Amino acid sequence: MDGLWAYLGIAVVCIAIGWAGGYYGISFHFQRRFLTVADECSDADSIEPLIDELERRS
């Protein structure tokens, strides 16, 4: 029975690490993409690059 609790604990830790890593990775990707689109909008002095990005994503 002690082995079961150990495996359950390991599973919970692995799930938590995966969840945190996935959240960090997705947040980093979209934050970087947002800054790129924001720079393009600033350079073009228009929201057209934002509209183009929304069309690509949908």
| 26, amino acid identity | I
CA distances to 5, 6, 51, 53 from 1, rounded to whole Å, are: 7, 9, 57, 54
Among 1-5, 20-24, 47-51, 53-57, top mean pLDDT goes to 20-24
Buried-exposed string 27-41: b where 16+ CB fall within 10 A, e elsewhere: eeeeeeeeeebeeeb
Contacts of 49 (CB under 8 A, 6+ apart): 37, 40, 41
d(CA 24, CA 57): 20
pTM score, whole prediction: 0.60
Q: pLDDT, tens digit, for every residue of 25-45? A: 999 998 988 888 888 888 888
